A and B are shown apart, each in its own frame.
Chain A
Amino acid sequence: MTLDLVIFIISALTAIFGALMMIFQRNPVASVMYMILSLVSQAVLYMQLGALFIGAVLIIVYAGAILVLFLFVIMMLNLRQTEDMDSDSTPISKLAKFLVSGLLFLEMLFVVRGSYFQSSVETGLLSPQIDDFGSVESVAELLFTTYLYPFELTSILLLTAIVGAVVIARKPSNEDPVEILPFDSDDDEFKSAKAAE
């Protein structure tokens, strides 16, 4: 058992554990913490695969920025303990959800075990690493040459997201009330249907 394997097993199990704890936590703050744990473990896996730069970005951007944003929102909304969350889903429907997810997982395993990559990846073992694999330089070269166009598009996407986030989250002022009703409230049919209910 090599050190690589040990590190892999530990970090993989930590990632899975963190993810599981994340989804089953009632307290959203704890949830975010477990998510960070899972992300850090994943960053270790990335680095093990030679993706040093991406791993660093994952920790800096994800753990450092995005999840802090989550945390920030949770704090702002003051969501201490998730309020009652009255369990209106029956055990059967919950079971069905786990079943569906499990099936999806199994199917993915089948894909992994399948013969899709066997021609190029003979035994499923990792091929020898090239010199500057995963360095900032090589990633940057790709992004600014081959993938320049998608890269620029992504910047526009980010800009849109920023504007969108601002517009959506803005508190509607009294001067221009934002219509949040999903239906035209002048619609008589809708009103009468509402009244009939």
Chain B
Amino acid sequence: MTEYIYLIPILPLIGFLINGLALNRLPKSVVSAVACGSIGLSFVLSVILFFELKALEPSSRVIEQVLFPWISVGSFHVNFAFLLDPLSAIMILVVTGVGFLIHVYSVGYMSHDPGYSRYFAYLNLFTFSMLTLVLADNFLLMFVGWEGVGLCSYLLIGFWFEKKSASDAGKKAFIVNRIGDFGFLIGMFIVFWSVGSLNFNQVSSIAPTVFAFGGTLITAACLLLFVGAIGKSAQIPLYVWLPDAMEGPTPVSALIHAATMVTAGVYMIARTNVLFMLAPDALMVVAVIGAATALFAATIGLVQNDIKRVLAYSTVSQLGYMFLACGVASFSAGIFHLMTHAFFKALLFLGAGSVIHAMSNEQDMRKMGGLKKHLPITFMTFLIATLAISGIPGLSGFFSKDEILWKSFSSQSGHPIFWVIGFITAGLTAFYMFRLVYMTFYGQERMDEKTKSQLHESPKSMTIPLMVLALLAVVGGWVGMPHILGATNYFEDWLSPVFSHGEAVNTHALLSSTADSSMEWLLMFASVALVLVAIYLAYNFYLKKTSLSTAMKEKLSGVHKTLLNKYYVDEFYGAVIVRPIIYFSLFLWKIVDVLIIDGLINGSATVYNDISEFLRQGQSGRVRSYATIFTLGVVVLLAFFMTD
């Protein structure tokens, strides 16, 4: 079966071609069957391949499939090849699995949209790009997928392009991503320049011999690659596009801007873990940025009123966790959180979509409330996801988050400060998530009568994916239980062959196993306690005594306003980056282009015009003067021949 790896990305591509080229001519049932069917087949294939891979010896779990040589110029050789190893196996399972559920969900969610087949074409194209990204066996092919998902993200954010804000958000996402891509490209060039290959396996084996440990070059390369990851995964300072990306359809937010695409940065760092392990300074930067983003985005999430924006900042915050994990050299924890986050965040977004669907496209939580009894399935699944993201023991989020917190504390490249930040963030996460739940599902019904009369539970095609995801959000974490609970961390063992190269080059980076288990217990209890306190606070503030929250708001109005306006980062970027660029562009346009370049071109044209105007006199159109000149020519020629 392993020779069919290429089918996994190709199937969604075929779906895209069918839906994209048919241009709305197919009936909706066919469109959805093609779209869901192609990715469903991909998922089945991924599962089969996963078990085939599992049947192999752990050390030989690397399958490379070279489809054809892609570029071969001089010493530069790139194959169009796919790489299936434990890491990419996890990723394709997540992408196709969650992607399939979201496709199914979209059938119901988008059923009344005029751009139905366009939507599914984009969604399939996205899945193709994402699978190319995770299955690529070299940097260049990965970059193709990387750009492809960026493009699809742009297309899907601006899906309702007739809305100005949506098309603006699409452009913003694309441009901000370009900044990151620039870093990725340069980093890629450095790697090729030094190693002479772009193949991941070759880079992993050659890099330790060509790069000095902690040297400037490798640090620069890693930082540039990380810039790419920052852009794609919405970390400080390039996170600004993700909250705006919520202009897209909600299933898109779930698939692209929560579960899969934004995790590409984390995946890329995990994939190039050898390089990062060679550059401890770069790892440090990754951890610092991750931690800072986690805390920063969580504080903004505290006060947002748009249900999707809260989730968006929550996503940024959780991505910060993943980078924190990578930064403390615990890549498997990062990937673990990536996976569990994909489950519960997709579920949260889809639940929010269900709410928005029921509320006639209202996204403001202040106009919701009391939806619990109207949307029972949505409420139950949403609550499960909230408990999971908050880190309630037993649910998936708990295990992954706890592992990250523990690693950031105990790892050799970690630091207690990272743990403190992660710890506070966990509390904030629980607080804003339960604030969301209380404002949406409990309390008074604040919507108007018309909306209220139309409240309805979503159709089956939407609730079934919710239930499947809820199940995954519960059990998804059980594969990675910590050792102290007496279980085996299957997840870490599964991924260990991928990260063994990295650990080999930097044996100090990871934790010394001397860390005592009592400390781990203590920290675990502390975070659980904090989460419970946060939930209680949210309960008090937003359900029991809502006056408290308004009082707090007035007391800390300055802070509240700052948070509500997202620390004025957008305004800051506007003033410092966008405005000067606009003025500079104006200068280039009005002065350089219009005056100098156009002047030169028009000037030369004018010169020729004048010359032609002069020469035109000779071409009077009068036959007689032509004849005269003709005769003159005869005379001259005769004279010439006679004197010869």
Contacts and interface: CB of A to CB of B under 8 A. Distances in A.
Q: Do chains A and B touch in the complex (CB under 8 A)?
A: yes
Interface of A: 89, 93, 96-97, 100-101, 103-104, 107, 110-111, 114
B625 A104 contact: no
B628 A104 contact: no
Nearest to A104: B635
B15 to A, nearest CB: 45
Contacts of A114: 642
A107 B635 contact: yes
Contacts of B642: 107, 110-111, 114
Give the interface centre of B631, B635, B639 by most chain A CB atoms within 10 Å.
B635
Interface residues of B, number: 10
A93 B625 contact: yes
B628 A96 contact: yes
A100 B635 contact: yes
B631 A101 contact: yes
A100 B635 CA distance: 7
Give the interface centre of A97, A111, A114 by most chain B CB atoms within 10 Å.
A97
A189 to B, nearest CB: 15
A74 B624 CA distance: 21
B634 interface: yes
A75 to B, nearest CB: 24
A100 B638 contact: no
Interface of B: 624-625, 628, 631-632, 634-635, 638-639, 642
Contacts of A107: 635, 638-639, 642
Nearest to A88: B622
Contacts of A97: 624, 628
Contacts of B632: 100
A161 B635 CA distance: 31
A96 B625 CA distance: 10
A41 to B, nearest CB: 25
Contacts of B638: 104, 107, 111
Nearest to B636: A103
B214 to A, nearest CB: 67
A100 B628 contact: yes
A100 B639 contact: no
Nearest to B625: A93
B612 to A, nearest CB: 13
Contacts of A111: 638, 642
B481 to A, nearest CB: 76
A18 to B, nearest CB: 22
Nearest to A108: B638
A128 B93 CA distance: 116
24 contacts: A89-B624, A93-B625, A93-B628, A96-B628, A97-B624, A97-B628, A100-B628, A100-B631, A100-B632, A100-B635, A101-B631, A103-B635, A104-B631, A104-B634, A104-B635, A104-B638, A107-B635, A107-B638, A107-B639, A107-B642, A110-B642, A111-B638, A111-B642, A114-B642
Contacts of B634: 104
A103 B634 CA distance: 10
Across the A-B interface, the 5 shortest Cβ-Cβ residue pairs = A107-B638, A103-B635, A100-B631, A104-B635, A100-B632
A103 B640 CA distance: 13
Nearest to A89: B624
Contacts of B631: 100-101, 104
A154 to B, nearest CB: 26
A97 B631 CA distance: 9
A68 B642 CA distance: 40
B63 to A, nearest CB: 62
Nearest to A101: B631
Nearest to B627: A97
Contacts of B639: 107
Nearest to B628: A97
A64 B635 CA distance: 34
A102 to B, nearest CB: 10
Contacts of A101: 631
A93 B458 CA distance: 95
Contacts of A103: 635
B464 to A, nearest CB: 60
Contacts of B635: 100, 103-104, 107
Nearest to A105: B635
